Amino acid sequence: MRTLQVSELNAQIKSILESTFMDICVEGEIANLTLHTSGHIYLTLKDEQSSIRCVMFRGNAKNLKFEPEVGQFVLIKGALSVFSPKGEYQILCKSMTPAGVGELTLAFMQLKERLMQKGYFDAQRKKTLPPFPHRIALLTSATGAAKEDMLKVAKKRWNHLEIVLFNTLVQGEGAKDSIVNNLRLADGFYGSSYGFDVIILGRGGGSMEDMWAFNEEIVADAIFHAKTPIVSAVGHEIDVFISDFVADLRAPTPSAAMEMILPDQNEWLRILDETYTHYTQSLERFLSRKQDSVSSLKERFKEYHFESRYRYYHDQINYLRETMHTHFASIFTHRQFEIDALEGAFKTSMRSIFTLSSQNLHILEESLKAYDPHRICTQGYAQITKDSIVRQLNEILLDEEFELTDAEQNIRAKRIG
């Protein structure tokens, strides 16, 4: 038997092991996990009886959808590798998937939990969507059916709208970068005259792998830090994505997104018609009440007008005069005999009475003339009214309009001092 050097033995072992175990699949629990800054992953895979070291280099590690954790049971595919200088062997990992739970499902659960702890899903940070949006940024594929469905619903519900399409890759390699870039581009108009009221991130249904871009952390970050309200309208009603939790509004489908954020123009036309009818009727009732008030004021004005009062007192004087003449005529008719018998004494007495009455009548006539509205008006006086109500001059405010009325004319004036 030939004696071997240590290096020769390790070389032979390396050759045998690496050629024999080129394609292996091993299941176990992760222990002693190290996520190196270089991107490499170092870990130990164990079961109840033994353990083996493993390494996954950056090129393969970057394809992992989930984040490995100590205690996880995983399924590793790869090849056996021997480090000759130390005579140690390890599994060179090509892929790693969770055992029992799908890789994508686990990745989704991990990211959801991490973002929840960071407050990405908090209700108080959700932005309110405007009731009547004017400009909408639509982030979806320009050739997808989702775009046509959303445009069709938008045209039916609300025509007073501008929709700007940002052609976005929503599936496959580069989809997450395309979504993030277009989100930042659309949100960059915030606060300007070209700013958008809402950004809709949408696409139709598909497999979890096809839709995975909407579960990427960089997409969640872009949605979270956007200033513009964002609607996540991805997949079907039963589908749930990380973008749905972070967005300000989750729509079950792309078409439903337009129905949720746009008002129904037919419904608003009906509301406007009802409002117009209500206000028209209210205005008619208001004008009718004001017309009645004006008529009432006109009647009151007639009662207090100078001409009406003058005619009233003039008629009273004539009535009293006629009553007095009638009364004296009756007395003279029935008392003619007594008058004849007492003619001398009566004439003397009557002269005295008539003289006194004449004097009193003269005094009354002079008093009547002194208070005659026509005479007062001819002396430069006029009646002051406002809103058909007689006023004192001190009741008129500065720059307030009023009316001056004399026996012949009526003019409008304004107090200036």
The model's pTM is 0.50
**Quick one: pLDDT at residue 138?**
95
Chain-wide mean pLDDT for the chain? 84
336 vs 74, higher pLDDT: 74
409 vs 378, higher pLDDT: 409
Give the tens place of pLDDT for each residue, 36-53.
888 899 999 888 888 899
CA angle, residues 67, 70, 72, in degrees to nearest 5: 75
Give the tens place of pLDDT for each residue, 272-289.
888 888 888 888 888 888
**Quick one: pLDDT at residue 338?**
65
Q: What percent of the chain clears pLDDT 90, i.e. is strictly above it?
A: 26
**Quick one: pLDDT at residue 70?**
83
Residue 249: name the closest of 222, 231, 227 by CA: 231
**Confidence band of 346 (pLDDT split at 50, 70, 90):** low
pLDDT at 246 over 70: yes
**Quick one: pLDDT at residue 247?**
94
What does the alpha-carbon distance between residue 242 and residue 111 come to, in Å, rounded to a whole number?
A: 8
Lowest mean pLDDT among 19-33, 195-209, 281-295, 356-370: 356-370
pLDDT at 101 over 60: no
Q: What percent of the chain clears pLDDT 70, i.e. is strictly above it?
A: 90
**Quick one: pLDDT at residue 66?**
79
**Quick one: pLDDT at residue 8?**
78
Q: Which two tokens stand for residue 103?
A: 């890789």
Helices (H), 81-236: 103-117, 145-157, 175-187, 217-225
**Quick one: pLDDT at residue 10?**
80
**Quick one: pLDDT at residue 302?**
67
CA angle, residues 33, 26, 45, in degrees to nearest 5: 25
**Confidence band of 295 (pLDDT split at 50, 70, 90):** confident
**Confidence band of 362 (pLDDT split at 50, 70, 90):** confident
What does the alpha-carbon distance between residue 298 and residue 281 come to, in Å, rounded to a whole number?
A: 26
CB 243, CB 121: distance < 8 Å? no
Give the tens place of pLDDT for each residue, 205-220.
887 778 889 999 999 9
**Quick one: pLDDT at residue 76?**
87
pLDDT at 102 over 70: no
**Quick one: pLDDT at residue 195?**
93
What does the alpha-carbon distance between residue 289 and residue 390 come to, in Å, rounded to a whole number?
A: 22
**Quick one: pLDDT at residue 189?**
94
Domains, the chain, in order of start with CATH, read: 6-100 (2.40.50.140), 125-263 (3.40.50.2300), 382-417 (no CATH)
